[in-house]
Chains A and B, each alone.
Chain A
Amino acid sequence: MEAAWPALALSLKVALWASAIDLLLGIGLGWLLARGRFPGRELLDAILTLPMVLPPTVLGYYLLVLFGRHGWLGAWLLAHFDYSLIFTWQGAVVAASVVSLPLVLRSARAAFEDVNPQLEAAARVLGLSESAVFLRVTLPLAWRGVLAGLLLAFARALGEFGATLMVAGSLPGKTQTLSIAVYEAVQAGQDDLAWRMVAVISLTCIVILVTARRLAPQDTRAGMR
């Protein structure tokens, strides 16, 4: 069981960071997709949703193309900061956040679209700047939807396997997350260890799903008018 705890701690760390990134990107992009009027809006939505349907290996490959030593961003990071994401836990964070972003994004976009534009107009007439309108009216009214998506994204990030393995590898104590440790344990015939880790991750995900479900439906309750 000793091997399980560092893996669980790493999984939680990666999932928390990935969710934090998803929260910021999900709110920003979700609002842009809900309220922005620009050509290619639906194309952008489709591209950002791709990670949900693409095989994780394909996604991992794209990330390597982007962040690898000879990748567009990777070469730049290496040249200017002497830094590479490959085989680091930060690389696992990037993989997990890309994979789970669509879950926050879809939920946030729907929540922002549900906010009555007249309430925002009322706030403008009452003297608020655009940023104040967003922070005091739009975001609070969309918050539950954003949060429900965020919890799903956290659960998804916690279970991320394919893209993470390709970008960050499986270095025990360094980049070996719980889901990768399960795979390694099964490969090594350590059924006991695998079983315990599977139980831990299943329980965590159940708690998250129940919480997300309690958050989501209240959005549409009559009391919100």
Chain B
Amino acid sequence: MNFEVSIAKTLKAPGRRFELDASFSTAARWTVLYGPSGAGKSLVLQVIAGLVRPERGRIVLGERVLFDASTGIDVPARDRRLGYLFQDYALFPHLNVRQNIAFGLRRGVLNPRRSDDSPAVQRWLQAFELEAVASQRPHQLSGGQRQRVALARALVNEPAALLLDEPFAALDPGLRQRMRDELQTLLERVAVPMLLITHDAEDVARFGQQRLRVEAGRVAAD
């Protein structure tokens, strides 16, 4: 899987101005973008996912052009077929685990039923050992279970790539170590390529088959 990213975006806030001008390409299965907070890592991920529109540039994933300013291509976020793991997981609080995982399988205006038993949902519940909590709401889950639900929710749609936004930043050190082990085990079982952003050297060592350093809105190879 090839990622080719070249994007420019200027953010303006009163008394503040941030310029992102990032170019990189990677062919690795696991790529880590790392750098201090405020360097623009999250913005890169949001632009790739189609949540923020860049001013200039081009984003290519494998054979698919997701964005190209020069030809006016801008595939909307919903059609990019990317999995996104948010920092605090962004699980839907009004839906149970089953409904959260099934969420992307239903594109209509109705949420999945509370007892949704699509084969894909069953498979991920089983694979991530979530059957026992399938009818619970996110606030009833442990941190590890939440991470697995978020990952299952992203993977059930068979995304072309996974984007992970600082998956362990909000956790205390002991739990962080455990969740990192768990995520690594889970990711090794699925063939989906991933792009992870972090400011933690341990994440870089563990997941960085290809490492890219982000600093002040620029990306440099390691």
The residue from B93, B109, B153, B154 contacting A132, defined by CB atoms under 8 A apart:
B109
Asked whether A128 and B78 contact (CB < 8 A) given A123-B103, A222-B139, A225-B139, the answer is yes
Task: Provide the residues of chain B in CB contact with A125, threshold 8 Å.
Answer: 49-51, 77-78, 80, 82-84
Considering residues B81, B138, B139, which has the most beta carbons from chain A within 10 angstroms of its beta carbon?
A: B139
User: Closest chain B residue to A140 by CB distance?
Assistant: B94
Question: Could you tell me the distance between the alpha carbons of A132 and B77 in the complex, rounded to whole angstroms?
Answer: 14
Asked whether A126 and B94 contact (CB < 8 A) given A222-B139, A223-B139, A225-B139, the answer is no
User: Closest chain B residue to A136 by CB distance?
Assistant: B111
Asked whether A122 and B90 contact (CB < 8 A) given A127-B79, A127-B104, A128-B107, the answer is yes
Considering residues B83, B104, B153, which has the most beta carbons from chain A within 10 angstroms of its beta carbon?
A: B104
- Interface set, chain B 30-64, CB cutoff 8 A to A: 46, 49-51
Asked whether A126 and B157 contact (CB < 8 A) given A118-B86, A119-B92, the answer is yes
Proximity string of chain A (124-145) to chain B, C-beta cutoff 8 Å, 1 when within and 0 when not: 1111110110011100110000
Task: Provide the residues of chain A in CB contact with B93, threshold 8 Å.
Answer: 119, 141, 223-225
Query: How many chain-A residues does the 8 Å CB contact rule pick out?
Result: 23
User: Closest chain A residue to B94 by CB distance?
Assistant: A140
Asked whether A124 and B90 contact (CB < 8 A) given A136-B110, A136-B111, A223-B139, the answer is no
* Contact assessment for B51 and A124 in the assembled complex, using a CB-CB cutoff below 8 Å: yes
* Contact assessment for B104 and A126 in the assembled complex, using a CB-CB cutoff below 8 Å: yes
Residue B119 is within 8 A (CB to CB) of chain A in the complex? no
Asked whether A118 and B90 contact (CB < 8 A) given A125-B77, A132-B108, the answer is yes
Proximity string of chain B (61-87) to chain A, C-beta cutoff 8 Å, 1 when within and 0 when not: 000000000000000111111111010
User: Closest chain B residue to A224 by CB distance?
Assistant: B93
Interface residues of A (CB under 8 A from B): 116, 118-119, 121-129, 131-132, 135-137, 140-141, 222-225
Considering residues B103, B137, B154, which has the most beta carbons from chain A within 10 angstroms of its beta carbon?
A: B103
Question: Could you tell me the distance between the alpha carbons of A27 and B84 in the complex, rounded to whole angstroms?
Answer: 29
Task: Provide the residues of chain B in CB contact with A116, threshold 8 Å.
Answer: 90
Given A131-B109, A132-B109, A225-B139, 5 more A-B residue pairs with CB atoms under 8 Å apart are A119-B93, A122-B84, A123-B103, A125-B78, A223-B93
Task: Provide the residues of chain A in CB contact with B109, threshold 8 Å.
Answer: 131-132, 135-136
Question: Could you tell me the distance between the alpha carbons of A116 and B111 in the complex, rounded to whole angstroms?
Answer: 18
Proximity string of chain B (121-160) to chain A, C-beta cutoff 8 Å, 1 when within and 0 when not: 0000000000000000111000000000000011001000
Question: Could you tell me the distance between the alpha carbons of A79 and B132 in the complex, rounded to whole angstroms?
Answer: 67
Question: Could you tell me the distance between the alpha carbons of A116 and B93 in the complex, rounded to whole angstroms?
Answer: 11
The residue from A121, A132, A222, A224 contacting B90, defined by CB atoms under 8 A apart:
A121
Within the complex, the shortest CB–CB distance from B205 to chain A, in Å, comes to 28
